[in-house]
Amino acid sequence: MPFFGAPPKEPGSDELAGAAPTTIWDYMRGGVAYDLTRDTIGGVDQNAVQDIKDQEGTTLTSSITPGITYDSRDHFFAPTEGTKSAFSVKTAGLGGDSRFIKTDLSGRWHYPLLKDPKWGGNYVLALGGQLGYGIGFAGQSETNGLTLPLFERYFLGGINSIRGFQDRSLGPREKTCVTNLDTGVPDCSKSDVIGGDTAAVMNVELLFPIMEQYGLRGVAFFDMGNAFANGIDFGDMRRSVGAGVRWMSPFGPLRVELGFPLNKKPGDETSVLGFSIGSQP
């Protein structure tokens, strides 16, 4: 994605004594991306929910995504202060088969609680959140109020959203009925996640030093959020708590985190251990 904004300082460069102070514009970047993708959904199980069966086939999507970011953090993986936020609007319909708009907003704010070598280093409070909303246009089939294509819907869960739940396991569900071959009676107790057109996530983290001189820090967290079909329902939010370690290793950023759901509901798939290499919180 091409970006525009203030060019980065050259390593080792000296600033003039009379240089202008840093402004908000120095932390902002913007750009526009164009994507042309061909998505194929196939091999759908005969017992899958009807919404997924209806999405079977090949779809060509032509989209353009303007976006803007603000990043004032003092470190990309182990910040002690600063903010990172991003806003983008993805529009599909410049040719292709899909017609939709998706708007995504995210932010993470870091506040230094304590900076003292006697206590091991830096203690930081991090507050983060994500909001997403999408809507499909004429020509898109509608199921349970959803008009976004299946491959563009929000599926939450995992180390980068709601820890303690399996990746892409949270969101609106549709019941599936399987007929018992022995009795001939349909069993409709199971359900499949079909994704949502709205997503909301909140993360609260306390970052603390373990061996900060070697890039090793600990984290304790509280997560809350879900994906929805017809607007945000705060009563349907999933919540979890946990802890983990983050290491700026020679191979790149490494995260190992344990999450424990607080309000698991029937059908939810949980996963205590989250592991990631290279991804940022």
Q: Which has the higher per-residue pLDDT, 261 or 138?
A: 261
With cut-offs at 50, 70 and 90, classify the pLDDT of residue 4: very low
DSSP 150: G
Is there a contact between 277 and 159 (Cβ–Cβ < 8 Å)?
no
pTM of the model: 0.86
With cut-offs at 50, 70 and 90, classify the pLDDT of residue 21: confident
How far is it, in rounded angstroms, from Cα 142 to Cα 137? 10
In sequence order, the β-bridge partners of residue 170 are: 156
Is there a contact between 78 and 255 (Cβ–Cβ < 8 Å)?
no
For the ranges 14-23, 50-59, 203-212, 248-257, the lowest mean pLDDT is seen at 14-23
Instruction: State pLDDT tens for residues 126-159.
Output: 999 999 999 998 655 566 667 899 999 999 999 9
How far is it, in rounded angstroms, from Cα 197 to Cα 142? 11
Residue range 26-53: mean pLDDT, rounded:
89
Q: Which has the higher per-residue pLDDT, 8 or 198?
A: 198
Mean pLDDT of the chain, nearest integer: 88
With cut-offs at 50, 70 and 90, classify the pLDDT of residue 3: very low
With cut-offs at 50, 70 and 90, classify the pLDDT of residue 18: low
Task: Inform me whether the pLDDT recorded for 243 exceeds 50.
Answer: yes
Coil, helix or strand at residue 91: strand
Class of domain 26-277 as given by CATH: mainly beta
Is there a contact between 166 and 174 (Cβ–Cβ < 8 Å)?
no
DSSP 152: G
The rounded percent of the chain whose pLDDT value lies above 90 is 67
